[in-house]
């Protein structure tokens, strides 16, 4: 159940992130072409900044789901088992607590921004552009919780997600080299 939900969420987040990257790329190319022609777009900078922020938030949630944020697995795995698991719990509480506060603060910001519109696109509410803060924070929490069971098992076994991936890649390369 968790694995299926994780795969679905991973697909959704990848689709959103890639879609935003494609859209941002198109906006940048169009803006450059307009600038070259001497007709700069007034809304380009503001829209590009917004899409870059959205890519960052949705990409961060995707990284949380895959446990690809910067971590200290080597230090964590060097600890004795009970200390290691206590440190893992402490770290998860701190991270999730931070994002709970961020979601709450983001919601408060949305209330303050009610009635404000973008400077260059006066028909776009700022609330829409800033909604990524609470949405991204909640997504990060969900992704962190969904990825926790596997991370817990690997940490308890003394295995690093980062090192396991590196070891698997080395093994694959050695097999390739052995067959050639």
Query: Looking at per-residue confidence, does 18 or 175 come out higher?
Result: 18
pLDDT of res. 75: 86
Q: Kindly state the average pLDDT of the residues 108-122.
A: 91
Burial code (b: 16+ CB inside 10 Å, e: under 16) for 24-50 equals beebeeebeeeeeeeeebeebebbeeb
pLDDT band for 131, please (50, 70, 90 cuts). Answer: very high
Mean pLDDT of the chain: 91
Q: In whole angstroms, what is the distance from residue 14 CA to residue 56 CA?
A: 12
Tell me the backbone φ, ψ of residue 124, rounded to 5 degrees: -100, 115
The CA distances from residue 131 to 2, 41, 47, 141, in Å, are 27, 25, 14, 16
Nearest C-alpha neighbor of 109 from the set 131, 124, 125: 131
pLDDT tens digit sequence for 52-90:
999 999 999 999 999 888 777 888 899 999 999 999 999
pLDDT of res. 176: 83
Rg of the chain on CA atoms, in Å: 21
pLDDT of res. 180: 60
pLDDT band for 164, please (50, 70, 90 cuts). Answer: low
Output the six-digit token pair for 41. Answer: 């777009």
3-state secondary structure of 7: helix
Output the six-digit token pair for 29. Answer: 């190319």
pLDDT tens digit sequence for 20-36:
999 999 999 999 999 99
Q: Is pTM, for the whole model, over 0.75?
A: yes
Output the six-digit token pair for 4. Answer: 């299926």
- DSSP codes, 35-90: HHTT---TTHHHHHHHHHHHHHHHHHHHHHHTT-S---HHHHHHS-HHHHHHHHHH
Q: Kindly state the average pLDDT of the residues 115-132.
A: 91
* Number of alpha helices (DSSP H) and beta strands (DSSP E) in the chain: 7, 0
């Amino acid at each position: 159940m968790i694995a299926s939900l994780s795969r679905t969420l991973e697909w959704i987040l990848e689709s959103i992130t890639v879609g935003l990257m494609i859209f941002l790329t198109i906006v940048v190319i169009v803006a450059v072409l307009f600038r070259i022609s001497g007709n700069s777009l007034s809304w380009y900078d503001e829209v590009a900044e917004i899409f870059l922020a959205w890519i960052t938030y949705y990409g961060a949630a995707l990284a949380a789901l895959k446990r690809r944020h910067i971590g200290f697995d080597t230090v964590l795995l060097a600890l004795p088992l009970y200390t290691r698991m206590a440190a893992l719990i402490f770290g998860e509480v701190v991270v999730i607590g931070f994002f709970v506060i961020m979601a709450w603060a983001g919601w408060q910001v949305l209330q303050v921004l009610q009635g404000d519109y973008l400077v260059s696109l006066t028909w776009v509410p700022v609330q829409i552009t800033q909604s990524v803060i609470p949405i991204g924070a909640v997504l990060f929490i969900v992704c962190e919780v969904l990825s926790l069971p596997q991370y817990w098992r690997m940490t308890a076994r003394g295995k690093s997600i980062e090192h396991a991936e590196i070891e698997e890649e080395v093994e694959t390369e050695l097999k390739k080299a052995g067959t050639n």
